[in-house]
């Protein structure tokens, strides 16, 4: 499908969203007011009214992958004689997804469909969704450009880019569903050259800290014995798991059967887990990554050595969430610079 573009005003966009809310459950970025000003954060939540939506927003604390791979989900339930699978529900819309997060969906698509078993629970949610992206409000933590993840070519149905100061949006059409949705009144056809110019203009921000990724996978492998890097991180890192829990690309999970001895019901749950946590590597007889140093190094190796080996992509889209969430200011950009031995100005 050759890419087509449309243009729409903010008013028409809101009418469009209102109509979507009539047809689907819509989730989108909202401002989450905390008890004090500094605790305010943005989060993806169910949208019931248009004034909840934060069109311009920095990356949310928890990424929208939660709609395909929830923090906690029931896989099946049994009453001892039969199994019941949770119902999927109706098709839903995730509105306002940034380019880096859409690209993380593509990475998860590969991870959850690799090998002989495709992840049924992830796939069915992914297929049941409509993704509408929007351009980002980058922060000092963002390094998606260094990672080559600031643009989207697939993985979405529509993608909006604001024409600065004009209350107007370029709408990039990314699928047949998007094509159909963009027939909405007030969405007008626009020339490709103009649309591309607007999109390129929106990407003219500068990263506060950039990294070089050309030889990152190989350099990561070679850094394994570099005690200076990993010892220092082992001493600083608390092993709290925050960096993993907020990451749009992390995909490890735990599965537990919860039994009720009174009625013989069993519920099989899967929950996110983090390789930076002590209990992640606990097995019968011991723990195979007891030190924080080995756990943090494993997290880093996974993203920059194992992901590229397995799916030819880094397990990082440069969203910066892990930097913001780290209580002791560990910054993977600075580690990448040390690992590749190059500082990018």
- Give me the residues that bind ligand SF4 (CB under 6 A), please: 237-243, 246-249, 276, 296, 303, 316-322, 325-328, 330, 332
CB of 202 to ligand SF4, least distance (A): 20
- Report the alpha-carbon distance of residue 268 to residue 94 in Å, rounded: 27
User: What is the C-alpha R_g of the chain?
Assistant: 21
Place of tokens 């950009």: 333
- Report the alpha-carbon distance of residue 22 to residue 61 in Å, rounded: 28
Cβ closest to ligand SF4, residue 17 vs residue 325:
325
Cβ closest to ligand SF4, residue 133 vs residue 178:
133
Residue 2 has which token pair?
């050759």
Q: Strand 158-163 relative to strand 168-173: parallel, antiparallel, unpaired?
A: antiparallel
CB of 14 to ligand SF4, least distance (A): 30
**DSSP structural state of residue 255:** E
Cβ closest to ligand SF4, residue 267 vs residue 291:
291
Q: Strand 168-173 relative to strand 4-9: parallel, antiparallel, unpaired?
A: antiparallel
Question: Contact, 107 vs 313, CB < 8 A?
Answer: yes
CB of 290 to ligand SF4, least distance (A): 15
CB of 246 to ligand SF4, least distance (A): 6
- As a whole number of angstroms, the longest Cα–Cα distance in the chain is 67
Question: Contact, 172 vs 157, CB < 8 A?
Answer: no
Cβ closest to ligand SF4, residue 269 vs residue 311:
311
Cβ closest to ligand SF4, residue 216 vs residue 249:
249
70 class by beta-carbon count within 10 Å (0-12 exposed, 13-18 middle, 19+ buried): middle
Question: Contact, 141 vs 157, CB < 8 A?
Answer: no
Residue 20 has which token pair?
């979507």
Cβ closest to ligand SF4, residue 47 vs residue 142:
142
CB of 204 to ligand SF4, least distance (A): 21
CB of 273 to ligand SF4, least distance (A): 13
Half-sphere exposure of 345 (CA within 13 A, CB side): 0
Cβ closest to ligand SF4, residue 29 vs residue 178:
29
CB of 240 to ligand SF4, least distance (A): 4
Question: Contact, 319 vs 248, CB < 8 A?
Answer: yes
């Amino acid at each position: 499908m050759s890419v087509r573009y449309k243009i729409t005003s903010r008013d028409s966009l809101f009418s469009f969203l209102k109509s979507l809310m009539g047809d689907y459950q819509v989730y989108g970025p909202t401002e989450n007011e905390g008890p004090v000003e500094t605790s305010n954060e943005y989060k993806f939540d169910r949208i019931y009214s248009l004034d909840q939506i934060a069109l311009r927003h920095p990356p949310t604390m928890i990424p929208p992958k939660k709609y395909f791979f929830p923090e906690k989900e029931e896989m099946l339930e049994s009453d001892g004689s039969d199994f019941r699978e949770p119902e999927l529900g109706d098709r839903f819309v995730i509105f306002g997804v940034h380019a880096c997060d859409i690209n993380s969906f593509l990475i998860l698509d590969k991870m959850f469909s690799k090998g002989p078993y495709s992840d049924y629970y992830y796939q069915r949610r992914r297929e049941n969704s409509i993704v509408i992206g929007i351009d980002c409000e980058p922060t000092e933590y963002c390094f998606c450009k260094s990672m080559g993840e600031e643009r989207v070519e697939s993985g979405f149905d529509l993608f909006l880019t604001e024409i600065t100061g004009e209350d107007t949006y370029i709408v990039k059409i990314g699928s047949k569903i998007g094509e159909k949705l963009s027939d909405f009144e007030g969405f007008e056809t626009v020339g490709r050259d103009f649309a591309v110019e607007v999109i390129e203009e929106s990407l003219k921000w500068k990263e506060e800290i950039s990294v070089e990724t050309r030889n990152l996978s190989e350099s990561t492998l070679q850094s394994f014995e570099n005690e200076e890097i990993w010892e220092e991180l082992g001493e600083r890192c608390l092993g709290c798991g925050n960096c993993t829990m907020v990451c749009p690309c992390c995909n490890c999970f735990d599965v537990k059967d919860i039994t009720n001895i009174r009625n013989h019901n069993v519920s099989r749950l899967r929950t996110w887990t983090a390789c930076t946590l002590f209990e992640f590597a606990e097995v019968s007889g011991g723990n195979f990554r007891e030190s924080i140093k080995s756990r943090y190094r494993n997290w880093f190796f996974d993203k920059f050595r194992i992901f590229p080996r397995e799916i030819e992509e880094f397990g990082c889209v440069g969203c910066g969430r892990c930097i913001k969430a780290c209580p002791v200011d560990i910054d993977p950009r600075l580690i990448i610079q040390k690992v590749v031995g190059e500082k990018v100005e």
